[in-house]
Chain A
């Protein structure tokens, strides 16, 4: 469980996050949605402690991240998996080595055991036969999947994904969404996902935080998002033609 209270973050003059209060529960897939530029990535990086913030607090299961010593922070982070928006694979390592990396750093497993575990997670993201490729030889979607494999390989307690399925075809995107949900439930992880994909919202949005211009504009779940009258949310949801038509059809049927 992660609790965020009154979080403020600025870059120089630009006030990006303007006092966010929310919490993310364990064993659930928590989504942060909002338009491009609404501050999702900045919020996530604050949660991870990659950015300092001016005001507010972030607690991981009761521990305030900011108050920990630099070394304690690093120990804490060994329990965190993160999928970056741009994948951030290590480009001097092969795909398999990338996935094995957290194991090499934080476990005492033998090389063979590491390889086995890496192969297991690579299989889960449908990448059985790309082990020896370099990241630069993989497609964008493959890189995303490798990044997810790397994030979950060491059984993290907290999993953060910055748009895990942007740039993927709808089928792979759904596979990835479900994979994240499965893992979250299976290992009882606290998962926070940035997204602006309505499919993800419908598939896995157990808790949804809607950001607009650095503020939480709405909070709910995939069940309530289609029922709310909150204009900001409906504006976002029905900006897609498909959803607009579905809604019109429903309204017509009802009348």
Chain B
């Protein structure tokens, strides 16, 4: 019953956040600030993780195909497939649920407990629009982050392949280009957009509707991480079922 109520509130929140928009001159600044916080601020950790996990994916693949009959190109091919299809969009988004998500929940939650949201409402400002809408727009740039993760993941794989001596650079690159299906890219980016929406709205929901004090802000961040991850995993499953099979 409580879950149903929360899901209902969540969808009402999404409708509400488009109503009575904040003045554009103010909104513009909020969006730029959120792009800086949520997108630019995530690039470092994304680059780091993508590069090294890309390397690990390649090493694991290489170690698992010791049959000499299997062509070496397969390493490049398998790396590409796992990074483009799952690792960059889904795995990265789970990490972002921790980074971006808890940032959003705790910053909005703190505003709730210190009555800053009440202060906005008292002034006649649609606080949902003011707080959540810029985050949603900023997250429209999230696919850019994921593209970087894809690119660096593959570079990481290439490096690991060369320096580990599993295959030549030529073999790896030939593998990368094998049986390329452009729809896989479309699929990956459709997922990415859905995840971006989830990453902006679910943590906002948990911050905005929280009650209590500083301790509850911490709890709300944890809950928000759990539910954002659950949503990402479920959407991933549904999108894959609908788009690929």
Contact = CB atoms under 8 A, between A and B. Distances in A.
Interface string A80-91: 101011101111
Contact of B116 (A78, A88, A105): A88
Interface string B9-20: 000000000011
A253 interface: no
A57 B26 CA distance: 35
Contact of B124 (A75, A88, A104): A75
A82 B122 contact: yes
Contacts of B126: 74
A86 B122 contact: no
Contacts of B231: none
Interface in A65-81: 70-71, 73-78, 80
Contact of B23 (A71, A89, A105): A105
Contacts of B116: 88-91
B127 to A, nearest CB: 10
Contacts of A102: 123
A101 B119 CA distance: 11
B130 to A, nearest CB: 9
Could you say which interface size class chain A belongs to? 20 to 34
Interface string A120-135: 0000000000000000
Contacts of B122: 48, 50, 77, 80, 82
A84 B122 CA distance: 10
A71 B19 CA distance: 9
Nearest to B110: A91
Given A71-B20, A105-B26, A90 B119 contact: yes
26 contacts: A50-B118, A74-B124, A77-B121, A77-B122, A77-B123, A77-B124, A78-B123, A80-B123, A80-B124, A82-B122, A82-B123, A84-B115, A85-B115, A86-B114, A86-B115, A88-B116, A89-B116, A90-B111, A90-B116, A90-B119, A91-B114, A91-B116, A101-B123, A104-B23, A105-B22, A105-B26
Interface of A: 45, 48, 50, 70-71, 73-78, 80, 82, 84-86, 88-92, 101-102, 104-106
